[in-house]
Every structure is written in structure tokens, then in C-alpha cells.
Chains A and B, each alone.
Chain A
Amino acid sequence: MFTLAIKSFRNRKFTTTLTIVAISLSVTLLLGVERIRKEARTSFTNTISGTDLIVGARSGPVQLLLYSVFHIGNATNNISWESYQEIARNPSINWTIPISLGDSHQGYRVMGTNSDYFKFLRFAGRRRLEMANGRIFEGVFDAVLGAEVAEALGYRIDDSIIIAHGAGKVSFIKHDDKPFKVVGILKKTGTPVDQTVHVRLEGIEAIHIDWKNGAPIPGQSISSDRVLTMDLSPKTVTAFLIGLKSRIKAFGVQRYVNKYPREPLLAILPGVALQELWDLIGVAEKALLAVSAFVVVVGLSGMLIALMTSLGERRREMAILRSVGARPLHVFSLILGESAMLTMAGVIAGVAMLYGLLFSCRSLILSKFGFFIAIRGLSTYELILTGVVCLAGFLIGIIPGYQIYRYSLADGMTIRI
């Protein structure tokens, strides 16, 4: 029966191919949605794994997490340098990393920070930042690029870059009187670090020295050389990351920061804030999963329709098979076998297409959304999903199978042309 089914497919190549394509697309969607969801979570979790607390001006926890770590969105306010210093002196704190945001380069975020960033930042457990080329910044106008920035824009050591104000790719306001020099390029991390241009806090101060309230003062323009003679110590930071001496102290320090009398501040535990983010989009994720499940149902319905419509013209064929000795059960299992094989072929093609897409799109996803999709084998959950699809396809075959079973009993040898 198996070879008969295969040969009958070749006779109806067009509809067979269409059916398989429909099923494979739906399977790719189903698995892809699940894959991306998991990978995003893993990637985001890896990014914050080395940080115990994040402090910013008082806004919302998710918002703070997003702009400080993932460079999505903007801060509402800044933190004064004095407040930062005082909080950093807290005995429970091991290290802090101040960051200053607000500028960009060709769509990539520019982050002002100090050498503590390279010393203390951890990701994906205990991995540290490493240089691929060059060195950490020293001068006011030195810049260290994340791996993705350097690769996408084709930068090398000693290249010159212009910082723009604001976060957009196209900015009308550029700090083009004060160019920066690339002195180092980081190794790939699979986190938003790859898409960041790192400069010193003093560098951020320098480019805003002749600005007031977020716009350049007309008529005043201070050159790079002159600015180096001025006082460039940082006045504010956008946020700072905290590493504690002991994790147990986290809630205590958080309370301290939230109650800080000098300025309205917010301290968050990154893991908790991330979970809030997932809860927020959890509904959307469930909806997406439901939609892709429906798409699979549609794909299988397509197969059902194709099989049912082919029954009419195959009654003749079935009558011939009956006359040479096929029993109605043979005829039933022929159709059932066909639906099982079509579904299986669709599932295999769908999985292949999934991996193909993941391979080809992951660098794009990394640069656009900041998370890295690792190529893994199918997880147990994904295998169960594909198993369910195969089973559904097999069971759907019962409908046309039973129909042709009844036809073959009724027709017998009589030929309905």
C-alpha cells in the first residue's frame, strides 16, 4: 500500500506539493513563534544576569529596565552626580557602573560610562567583556564599539565617528564639531552591548558643553581642543548598575534608594522587572501561539479539502483496486497513509524551513532587536508540537478514508465514470 500511495502522489504532483507547502508554512510559524519567544527570554535573561540592582530616576520598573539595559525607550529624568556618589558609598555595594544615555550614532545608542563598565559588567552567567581589537577608552574623545556596530558600519581602529543627538537613525542635530575616534572594538556578546558605542562620561559632557536645555546655544561653538581644557567632570547620569557584596542585601539597598530623600529615584531588581515585562506581554504571546495553532489547523484543512476533492475522481481507481483483490480496509488505509505521509512531509519541510530562516535572519534580529538566537536542536516541547501536528494529520485522514471505504463498498465493481 505504501508504494501505491507514493506513486499516486506523483500523479497529482501539483496538489500534493501545495498541500505540503501549506502544512510546512504553518509548522514553521508554530515552531518559529515558540522558538523566538524562548530565545528572546534566554537572551534577555543573559543580559541582566550579572547585575543585582539598577537605579534610575523614578519612573516605572519595566521602563527603567528597558532603557537602561536594552536601550529601548528613554529616561524621563537624570540622576545628579552627587546622589550617585552618595549611594555608591553604601557599605553593601561592591561595585557600580554609571551610564549616560541620550545620544546615538547611525541609529546605535551611545553610552557614556567609565572603565568600571569593562571591569565589572557580567553577562550570561559569569562572562566578561573582552576586546577583539584595540583598548579601552582613555581620552575624552575615545570610543569603544560593540561588535555589531563595528561590523555593520565597517569601522576599524582609528576611524572617526560623529555622535548625533537623540536616538534616531537620522538626526538633524549632530555634534559634528567634536568627532570621536575608535580606539577599541569589543568581542561579540549576544547582548545589546554589541549595538552600543561606548564613550567616557567626560566625552558626553564635552559634546554638550555648549548646549543648554538640550539644544546648542546659538552663536557659541567650542572646539574639541578648547573643550579639553575645561572642566568635564560629569554632572548627571541617566542610570547606574549595582553589584552587591551579597545578594541578601538587595532588598535593603533597594529600599534605601527608593526612599532616598534628595531625589526621586527607583531601584529595581532586574530579574523581577524582566518578569514583569514577560507578564505584560504574556497575553500577547498566548494569543500569538493560539493564532499559529489555528494556522496549522488551516493548513491541515487544506490537506483535507485536497484529499476529499480527489476522492470523486478516484472512485474508479478504487473500484479497480477492489476488483483485483483490495479489501475496503486496504482502500481505507491507502488514504490514511496518504494523509499521514503528506503531514509528515509538511512537518519535516516546516522544520527545515524554520532552521533555514533562523540561520539567515539571526544577524538581522540581533541588530534590530538586540537578542541572539542560538541554533539548538528541537526541544522536547517542540517535538511534542510536531508530534501533535503529525497525529492530527493522520486522524484527519480518517474522514476521507472512511468516505472512500463506504464508496468502495457501495460501488463494488461497478464503474461510475
Chain B
Amino acid sequence: MTMSDNLNTAPAIDISTLRFSWGNGQNPILVIENLQVKCGERIFVEGPSGSGKSTLLSLIAGIVTPQQGTIKVYGKHIDSLDGASRDRFRADHIGFIYQMFNLIPYLSVVENVTLPCRFSKRRRDRAVGRASGFETEAMRLLNKLGMDEPDVVKRPVTELSVGQQQRVAAARALIGAPEILIADEPTSSLDAGHRKAFIQLLFQECDREATTLIFVSHDTTLANLFNRTIRLADINKI
């Protein structure tokens, strides 16, 4: 399937009449009539803790499936795929950044960044296509994200500062140019002064590939940097 066919026409994410609850389906966490995200859009998702932000991300990523409704990601009905297919889809098309503890402690910086290439042939091919090898691509991304001192990259990941770790996580999410990047409170562990800078770097790389960015945070001061803000409380009709 070619994503570029859908560019600027079909939505990147299309959620409709969604109903989701954990466990036995008694108390729904999310009830969403309609949610659409265009390709290449930068969305800021806002809401207090426990409002269902992470659940929404899990649904978009195909970790869980809704009891009712449809989720189309770049035209594909991920709500009806089986577990293995959803895993494959996620590996090929979605990149993640978490709030903290993003990295695997016993792998080097570069190995952490190239992790998705181990599990997705598509992303590996795309990463290799951009540079002479996916390690070179990893270095390029790290440089672009501000990790350009040569010895920093050689350090064990446990010795990096939080800001540096988040940059590595961002590089990992971006390698192989996945169509969607989901960031779950990636700047919440950074000092206020560094947050904007991090986001700008992220934007630069997303622009390069027209990546759709879903950015979740409780820091509303960042909202104006994005194309659109979605308040979960507004769209969640539980």
C-alpha cells in the first residue's frame, strides 16, 4: 500500500463511533463520535491524567482494539486486524516517544536508535535508502536533534541526561520515516526552558518526511506551536 497516494486527500487517522473499555467492557473509558487527523498535521492532545489519553494512543497504535467503532490509519482498518498484523503495522508505520525510560539500558545509543530497523524491514529499507547504511542514518538523526558531540554518542545510555535520552528516543521514533509519530508527554521530564527547543527539532524532522505528529501533554503553553489542539474532555463523550 502506498501512503503517498493518500497524501493530502484521505485522513491519516480516521476514528468513528468509537467505544472502548478495559477488561470486560462494562465502564467505557473512551466514547468518540468522530476524530480525524490529516496527513502531516501536528496535533496537540491535551487532558488531565486519567482522562484516557494513553488509551487513545494505544488504540491508534493498535495495541488494543475497540469494542465498537472503527479506526482507520492511512486507510487501513486496524480495528479488524489480528494481533500479529497490528504489531506488524505498528512496527512499519508508527514511531513512539514516551515521557521517560525510553531506552534499553544494555544497548548503545546507536543500537537504541536502530532498534525499529531490527523489527521492520520497511523502516530498515527506508533508513538505508536515505544514507549509506542505517547506522549512518541514525547518526544523521542524532546530529539533527542536537546530539552532535562525538563522545556523547559513545556513552552508555544510563549516563545520558534526561534531555539527551529524549533526543535519542526521538531519533529512534523517526528512523525509517514512519508515517505517524506518537509522543506521550515527551517533554514533561525536561526543564521548561528546553521544551520548546526539543519540539522545534522534532518539527524540523517531521517536516522533512511529512510525518503526522500526535503530541500528548499537560503543558498547555506548548499548544500554540501545533496546527490543532484536541481537548480530550471535549471529544470524549463518556
Residues of A within 8 A of B (CB): 4, 7-8, 10-11, 316-317, 320-328, 330, 409, 412-415, 417
Shortest distance between the CB of B24 and any CB in chain A (Å): 14
Closest partner residue, chain B, to A326 (CB atom): B119
In the complex, the answer to whether A412 meets B119 with C-beta atoms within 8 Å is: no
> Complex formed: what's the CA distance from A320 to B90 in Å?
13
Q: Hey, what's the 0/1 contact readout for B75-109 against A, CB within 8 Å counting as 1?
A: 00000000110011011100010110111111100
**Contacting chain A: which of B56-64, B138-146, B216-224?**
B56-64
Residues of B within 8 A of A (CB): 54, 57-58, 61, 63-64, 83-84, 87-88, 90-92, 96, 98-99, 101-107, 111, 115-116, 118-120, 123, 172
Contacts of A8 in B (CB 8 A): 106
Contacts of B87 in A (CB 8 A): 322, 325-328
> What are 26 inter-chain pairs, A to B, with CB distance below 8 A?
A7-B107, A8-B106, A10-B106, A11-B106, A316-B101, A320-B98, A320-B103, A320-B115, A322-B63, A323-B96, A324-B91, A324-B115, A325-B118, A325-B120, A325-B123, A327-B83, A409-B83, A412-B58, A412-B64, A413-B57, A413-B58, A413-B98, A415-B98, A415-B99, A415-B101, A417-B101
How many A-B pairs with Cβ below 8 Å? 69
Shortest distance between the CB of B216 and any CB in chain A (Å): 12
Interface of A is mostly: helix
> Complex formed: what's the CA distance from A323 to B96 in Å?
7
In the complex, the answer to whether A327 meets B84 with C-beta atoms within 8 Å is: yes
Between A7, A323, A412, A414, the greatest number of chain B beta carbons within 10 A of the residue's beta carbon is seen for A323
> Complex formed: what's the CA distance from A316 to B105 in Å?
11
Contacts of A11 in B (CB 8 A): 105-106
In the complex, the answer to whether A324 meets B116 with C-beta atoms within 8 Å is: yes
Contacts of A413 in B (CB 8 A): 54, 57-58, 61, 63, 96, 98
Closest partner residue, chain B, to A8 (CB atom): B106
Contacts of B118 in A (CB 8 A): 324-325
Contacts of B96 in A (CB 8 A): 323-324, 413
In the complex, the answer to whether A414 meets B58 with C-beta atoms within 8 Å is: yes
Shortest distance between the CB of A313 and any CB in chain B (Å): 10
Contacts of B54 in A (CB 8 A): 413-414
List the 6 shortest-distance A-B pairs measured between CB atoms, nearest first.
A325-B91, A325-B119, A11-B106, A412-B63, A327-B87, A323-B96
Between B58, B63, B172, the greatest number of chain A beta carbons within 10 A of the residue's beta carbon is seen for B63
Contacts of B107 in A (CB 8 A): 4, 7
Contacts of B104 in A (CB 8 A): 317, 320-321
> Complex formed: what's the CA distance from A396 to B235 in Å?
48
> Complex formed: what's the CA distance from A322 to B61 in Å?
11
> Complex formed: what's the CA distance from A322 to B120 in Å?
12
New A-B contacts (5) at CB < 8 Å, excluding given A317-B105, A325-B90, A415-B99: A322-B63, A324-B118, A326-B87, A412-B64, A414-B58
Contacts of B111 in A (CB 8 A): 7
Closest partner residue, chain A, to B87 (CB atom): A327
> Complex formed: what's the CA distance from A415 to B58 in Å?
12
Closest partner residue, chain B, to A325 (CB atom): B91
> Complex formed: what's the CA distance from A177 to B101 in Å?
86
Closest partner residue, chain B, to A6 (CB atom): B106
> Complex formed: what's the CA distance from A10 to B107 in Å?
10
In the complex, the answer to whether B119 meets A320 with C-beta atoms within 8 Å is: no
Contacts of B172 in A (CB 8 A): 324
> Complex formed: what's the CA distance from A330 to B84 in Å?
11
Closest partner residue, chain B, to A411 (CB atom): B63
> Complex formed: what's the CA distance from A323 to B98 in Å?
10
Closest partner residue, chain A, to B84 (CB atom): A327
Shortest distance between the CB of B182 and any CB in chain A (Å): 9
Shortest distance between the CB of A14 and any CB in chain B (Å): 14
Contacts of B63 in A (CB 8 A): 322, 412-413
> Complex formed: what's the CA distance from A210 to B110 in Å?
92
> Complex formed: what's the CA distance from A308 to B57 in Å?
30
Contacts of B91 in A (CB 8 A): 324-326
Closest partner residue, chain A, to B172 (CB atom): A324
In the complex, the answer to whether B102 meets A320 with C-beta atoms within 8 Å is: yes
